[in-house]
Amino acid sequence: MKFFLDTAITSELRQGVATGLVDGVTTNPTLIVQSGRKLDDVVREITEIVDGPISVETLSTDAEGMYTEGKKFATMHKNIVVKCPLTEAGLTATKRLSKEGIRVNVTLCFSANQALLAAKAGAAYISPFVGRLDDNGQDGMQLIRDIVQIYKNYSFKTEVLAASLRHPIHIHQCALAGAHVGTFPFKVFQQLFKHPLTDIGLEKFLSDWKKAQG
Ligand code: G3P
C-alpha cells in the first residue's frame, strides 16, 4: 500500500519524506489555500521535495477548461497527476487527458458506479472520500471494499486511492480492503508510528542495559 500525504504544507512534507516512507502527495484547492501560497509556487516546491505522484486539482467546471488546465499542470513536472472532479465534464476531460498519456486522479468519488465510470474513462487513480461518507452516516470503508472488488473483476488498471482518511483505523481498514494507496494528513502519518507499549518497552530495554553496565 502506498502512502501519500494530503497536504500543501511543505515543511511537514519535508519531515514526512525524510522517513523514506512517503510515496506521493495529494493536494486540493482547500489545501492550497491553507498553505497561504500561490498554487504554482507551492506545487513547484513540492516537486523538489517528493519523487512520486503529485496530484494537482483543476478549477474549471467545464471539460474544455479542465483539459486545458490539466495540460498546463502536466507540463510543470513529470510527476504531476491532474485531479478532475467526478462530474460528467470531469470524466470527459479525464478521457481526453488519459488518451494523451496524462495521468488523472478522479476526485470526489462517493459511489461504486462513479468509480466504474472513472475506470472506463482511463483514470490512473480514483479517490473515494471515506471520511466524508462517514460524516454523512454512510460506511465509507465499504465503498473502498466495493471498488477494489469491482476493479479486480474487470482487471482495471485504475488504482484505488482512498482519501479523506482521518485516523489510523482508516489506514488499517484500507490496507485490509486492498486499497492501492491511502492519502492522509501529516498528523495521521505521525500517529501510525505510535504505540504506548513500544515507548514503555524501549524505555525498559534501555534502562535494563544501563543498569547492567554498572
Ligand atoms: O484528499 C481529500 C481530502 O483532502 C478530504 O479530506 O478530511 O476534508 O474530508 P477531508
Residue 114 is part of a domain; what is its CATH number?
3.20.20.70
83 is annotated as an active-site residue = yes
C-alpha cell at 120: 472506463
User: What DSSP state is assigned to residue 37?
Assistant: S
Q: How far is CA 35 from the centre of its chain?
A: 17
Alpha-helical runs (H) found in 50-167: 63-76, 88-99, 112-120, 130-135, 140-153
Each of the 214 residues of the chain gets a pLDDT tens digit; together they read: 999 999 999 999 999 999 999 999 999 999 999 999 999 999 999 999 999 999 999 999 999 999 999 999 999 999 999 999 999 999 999 999 999 999 999 999 999 999 999 999 999 999 999 999 999 999 999 999 999 999 999 999 999 999 999 999 999 999 999 999 999 999 999 999 999 999 999 999 999 999 999 7
Using CB atoms within 10 A of its CB, is residue 123 exposed (0-12), middle (13-18) or buried (19+)? buried
Reported pTM: 0.96
Nearest CA to ligand 1 atom 1: 163
Place of cell 488498471: 157
Gap from CA of 202 to ligand 1 centroid (Å): 35
Catalytic residue among 2, 72, 78, 83: 83
Question: Ligand 1: residues whose CB is within 6 Å?
Answer: 6, 26, 28, 129, 131-132, 163-164, 166, 183
Report the residue among 6, 81, 170 best suited for mutation to probe ligand 1: largest number of ligand atoms under 8 A from its CB.
6
Q: How far is CA 171 from each of CA 20, 43, 157, 158, 187, rounded to the nearest angstrom?
A: 18, 26, 22, 19, 13
> What is the four-CA torsion angle of 75, 81, 82, 83, rounded to 10 degrees?
-160
Alpha-helical runs (H) found in the chain: 10-17, 29-35, 39-49, 63-76, 88-99, 112-120, 130-135, 140-153, 168-177, 186-193, 196-212
Residue 125 domain boundaries: 2-212
Nearest CA to ligand 1 atom 8: 164
For the chain, what is the domain count?
1
